[in-house]
Structure 1
Amino acid sequence: MGIPIDSILNTVKLGASVRGEADVSVRVAVFVDATATPFLIDAIREAFVPQTTSALVRVERLGEAPASAKDDTDVSIVLSCGSVRLQEHVQELVVCGAPVVVLSESSVEVPFIRHDTRMLGLIAATDKTYLLDTLARWILERTEKQSAFAANFPFMRIAAANRVIASASLGNLATGALFFMPGADFPVMTVAQMGMMLQLAAIFGKPMRFERAYDAAGILMAALAMRAGTRVLVRQAGHASFLVKAMVGGLGTYGIGRALCILYERDVDYSRLNDAVSGAVGRMKGLVVARQDPVRA
């Protein structure tokens, strides 16, 4: 069973919308308390370097004046290891409307934050990897600009990609379990995988160029292989065939997502492949012209 034209068009539209989501403005406010350690300052300074002109990071010091974040702020980050006015400053920032997270080396230094909420949280760490991984997940759970944040701040890309892969995998797992007609789930799953590819490309800052056609071709070949393997397994599974289809759909999509992440992280150079494709197209055009005009050939 083929992939319907309307599904392809919807995937193209999704690509345009994903690209637009990755380009939306992102505003991060960083407030540095006098007690912030060099570890916290250096970790955030290195992590929050925008990769595009659509992102802006504002840095201010917390002092005697009331703390305030601009109206367009998406998230406020406070660096502090505890101070007399810290709680007061945090309350002032929460009132501004954007989610606020305090970064510290120990939770003991920020005793007034006991539980994370939608608008306020605490991350205490002395390990940079743990600090940034936790911060990435905290921000992505509280914003609708996941693609834009990940495209601008690379330390968020793995966390954002995991969310996309998990969503697509669970969706295709359900599709495999619920579609009872043999082959009917193939176009639905493939389109979902194409959508996942477009989202991951945006997260890793990969533009919508001809190279994405290679990625799409790889996904289509993997989907065909999964379909062929599923048919063989379903014949042997009997009444449990829906479980086989569900597992293949979910795990297969997860595997494709992980492979795409590795591909995008390594920033593979497609120039040689592009040259080979261009050469092949040129030779085909030459053959067509030669057949149409044998005298000139």
Structure 2
Amino acid sequence: MNAKLHPLAVWGLVKEARTALEDDRPLLVTGALAETLEQELGRGGSPGAVTLRGSVEHAAALVRVLAGRPTEDDEQALRAANRAGVPVVAVQTGTESFDVPYVLATDVVVCRPGAGFPTEKIARVLAARLGESATPLAARLPVLRDPVCDALIESFSRKNGILGAAIFVPGADFPVLTLNQVRLVLRLASAHGIEVDQHRLPEVLGTVATAFGLRAVARQVLGAVPIAGWALKGGIAYAGTRAVGEAARRYFAASAD
């Protein structure tokens, strides 16, 4: 089977990435010591990318700082975010840990007294919680950029690793895996505040060429090792996608400087 990648599918991803860059919703920080955390998260970022005020419904995400056990005000703020479908990361200060309503345990960051806010950890939890929708914030907030890029590369590599192992028809996986790689490259561009248009499209097409070479190797492996070939094929898809992502990250980081 000789599956092909349709140019319109690639262009659809380009338009999707360009639309995502238009999302200017801020990161809303509220609660105890919110002013301090707002300054740390917003350091070097675009004005207004992090805010202490505003409606949670119009925020990209909410970071709520808790001073010990959640208060009634805390619960009200978290409930409002939950109802609005806004992702929440809770930062829990103090010497004790408490259950935080409306927030997953994996989205709670503990801040021990005297240690200062663990900004990098907060950024990584935000990146994991927001997924692909974190790219507009990453473009405006340097503290989020590396964590978001790390999360994107790992997520897309895992997806392609699973798909590479699961699709057995020779060549049938090429469009799916390559579109994922193109999407990854475009999301990484967005995370650096770079818009991919017709002039930058050759960069994306370069990804397609790289992917084709990787899939050719995988097909040879599958033919030579028919029993365990699926596992090797998945490993090649994972490693190839990660290589594409890391190369794209370096390219866009240099372009953004």
TM exceeding 0.5: yes
Q: TM-score range by the shorter chain?
A: 0.7 to 0.9
Corresponding position: 1:48 with 2:35: no
- Report the aligned-residue RMSD: 3.5
Corresponding position: 1:196 with 2:181: no
Structure 2 counterpart SS, 1:135 = helix
Corresponding position: 1:93 with 2:80: no
Structure 2 counterpart SS, 1:265 = helix
Aligned residues between the structures: 248
Alignment equivalent of 1:117, drawn from 91, 103, 106:
103
Question: 1:101 deviation in Å?
Answer: 4.5
Corresponding position: 1:152 with 2:136: no
Deviation string, structure 1 residues 150-206 (Cα, Å, up to 9, x no partner): 222222222322332233222322332233332332233222211211111112211
The one-letter amino acid of 1:72's match is H
Relative to structure 1, the CA distance from residue 91 to residue 80 in structure 2 (aligned partners, 3 Å threshold; closer, same or farther) is closer
Alignment equivalent of 2:50, drawn from 47, 57, 62:
57
Between structure 1 and structure 2, the one with the greater Rg is 1
Q: In 1, Cα distance between the equivalents of 2:181 and 2:151?
A: 14
Deviation string, structure 1 residues 108-128 (Cα, Å, up to 9, x no partner): 1x6444688249834315366
Relative to structure 1, the CA distance from residue 181 to residue 20 in structure 2 (aligned partners, 3 Å threshold; closer, same or farther) is same
The one-letter amino acid of 1:27's match is P
Q: Does structure 2 conserve the Cα–Cα contact (< 8 Å) formed by 1:99 and 1:118?
A: no
Q: Does structure 1 conserve the Cα–Cα contact (< 8 Å) formed by 2:188 and 2:249?
A: yes
Task: Find the counterpart in structure 1 of residue 9 from structure 2.
Answer: 10
Q: Does structure 1 conserve the Cα–Cα contact (< 8 Å) formed by 2:192 and 2:256?
A: no
Task: Find the counterpart in structure 2 of residue 72 from structure 1.
Answer: 58
Question: 1:28 deviation in Å?
Answer: 2.9
Q: Does structure 2 conserve the Cα–Cα contact (< 8 Å) formed by 1:179 and 1:185?
A: yes
Relative to structure 1, the CA distance from residue 224 to residue 127 in structure 2 (aligned partners, 3 Å threshold; closer, same or farther) is farther
Q: In 2, Cα distance between the equivalents of 1:213 and 1:70?
A: 36
Equivalent positions of 1:136-285 (< 5 A) are 136-143=123-130, 145-210=133-198, 212-267=200-255
Q: Does structure 1 conserve the Cα–Cα contact (< 8 Å) formed by 2:44 and 2:141?
A: yes
Structure number with the bigger relative contact order (C-alpha 8 A, sep ≥ 6) is: 2
| TM-score for the superposition, normalised by structure 2 | 0.76
Q: Does structure 1 conserve the Cα–Cα contact (< 8 Å) formed by 2:160 and 2:238?
A: yes
Unaligned runs of 5+ in 1: 61-67, 270-297
